[in-house]
Amino acid sequence: MQAIDILKQLKEKGVRFTPQRQAILEYLLGTDTHPTAEDIYNHVKAKFPGVSLGTIYNTLNMLKEHGHILELSYGDMSSRFDGNPENHYHVVCTDCGKVVDYHRPLLTMEDEVSEKTGFKVMGHRIEFYGVCPECQEALLH
Amino acid sequence: MQAIDILKQLKEKGVRFTPQRQAILEYLLGTDTHPTAEDIYNHVKAKFPGVSLGTIYNTLNMLKEHGHILELSYGDMSSRFDGNPENHYHVVCTDCGKVVDYHRPLLTMEDEVSEKTGFKVMGHRIEFYGVCPECQEALLH
DNA sequence: CTAGATGCAAATGATTTGCTAGAAT
DNA sequence: ATTCTAGCAAATCATTTGCATCTAG
């Protein structure tokens, strides 16, 4: 789905359509780099020099709450945002922090976990940790 | 393994044995609640009223670097620490933040991920998200 | 017009760091 | 006697919040 369509859909719910929001969402949908809020800020600043980080966070939180993007939080580092809201897995470089998608059939273990723990399980997340090809290369020198 | 044994082992590596460290590690090994640094701080304060949060963090980082404990980071919330350093999975309550262990055979997907992505995959992590029995109960009232 | 959004700056909260006195070896 | 650690306070950094101004509807 395009940024404009998502924002039109949100307008039905009383969320205003602003050019900043359009720029933020377009960038997120058009990249597979899982940018941080700061990455997005730097990119959007090219078109809207006056934009503030507060607006970036505000927009990202709004989009997340409506289920249009995912936030990937990694403890110490800043969160990364994913324009694909469908559950899928990620491979994270422990060296440079890069995150790449890993698509495969989802684990069907949630019911089993619910039964065994009594939790009402609503979702799950898998991350693989390793060193990306570029960092492996860099480590050789 | 007991706290004392781990600390004796670390002494060989030049890490000093202090009563604060012993108290921190003993608490971590004796609980399955995955406490936060603050939880540990509050507990250790009972025995060492003068202990500081800095010491807690310092000790936790030292233990983590030597592979004796795990840090579980969850974006917004504070990290939780696990005295069991073997990889195992967790179920997290999205309501109260409680974390419980979920033991099952580990996923054997790391080689496949390595092949498909070019990453040198060293580990992985799975979290299930849901609502714990207590919070389900609370939501009824 | 007017509720909701922006931009800015100040606040927050977890974690880290710098420093001095103190304790472990 | 050295060197690492504890305790404390100040610093850091990502993210949030308060508020006055502005703008989409």
* A48 CB less than 7 Å from any atom of strand C: yes
CB contact (8 A) between residue B130 and residue A119 = yes
CA of B31 to C1' of C4 (A): 47
CB contact (8 A) between residue B119 and residue A71 = no
Same domain, B31 and B60: yes
**B7: enclosing H helix or E strand:** helix B3-12
As ranges, strand D nucleotides with an atom below 7 A of a protein CB are 4-9, 13-18, 23-25
A27 close to A45: Cβ distance less than 8 angstroms: no
Same domain, A73 and A113: no
Chain centroid offset of residue A76 CA? 17
- Tally the domains of chain B: 2
**A133: enclosing H helix or E strand:** helix A133-140
pLDDT at A87: 95
Nearest to B83 by CA among B28, B8, B38, B37: B28
What's the pLDDT tens digit per position in A73-85?
887 778 999 999 9
The residue-averaged pLDDT of A106-121 equals: 97
The parent domain of residue A67 ranges over 1-85
Count of Cβ atoms closer than 10 Å to residue A88 Cβ: 15
**What is the pTM (predicted TM-score) of this model?**
0.92
Choose the final residue of a domain: B69, B85, B101. B85
Task: Please report, as a single letter, which amino acid is at residue A81.
Answer: F
pLDDT at B69: 97
Go through chain A and tell me how many residues it has.
141
pLDDT at A76: 72
* B42 CB less than 7 Å from any atom of strand C: no
CB contact (8 A) between residue B120 and residue A114 = no
In this model, does residue A58 exceed pLDDT 90? yes
Same domain, B63 and B113: no
Kindly give the confidence (pLDDT) of every residue in chain B, 141 residues in length, as a single tens digit, with 9 standing for 90 and above: 899 999 999 999 999 999 999 999 999 999 999 999 999 999 999 999 999 999 999 999 999 999 999 999 887 778 999 999 999 999 999 888 899 999 999 999 999 999 999 999 999 999 999 999 999 998 888
Whole-angstrom CA distances from A28 to A1, A8, A52, A72, B5 are 12, 17, 17, 13, 50
User: Can you tell me the distance from the alpha carbon of B110 to that of B121, in angstroms, rounded to the nearest whole number?
Assistant: 6
Give the domain CATH number at B26. 1.10.10.10
* A50 CB less than 7 Å from any atom of strand C: yes
The residue-averaged pLDDT of A59-73 equals: 96
pLDDT at B82: 97
pLDDT at B79: 94
Same domain, B77 and B116: no
Same domain, B27 and B79: yes
**According to the annotation, is B68 in a ligand binding site?**
no
Q: Looking at A43-140, which runs of residues are DSSP E strands?
A: 70-72, 80-82, 89-93, 99-102, 120-131
Go through chain B and tell me how many residues it has.
141
Classify burial at A67, counting beta carbons within 10 Å of its beta carbon; exposed 0-12, middle 13-18, buried 19 or more.
exposed
- What's chain A's average pLDDT? 95
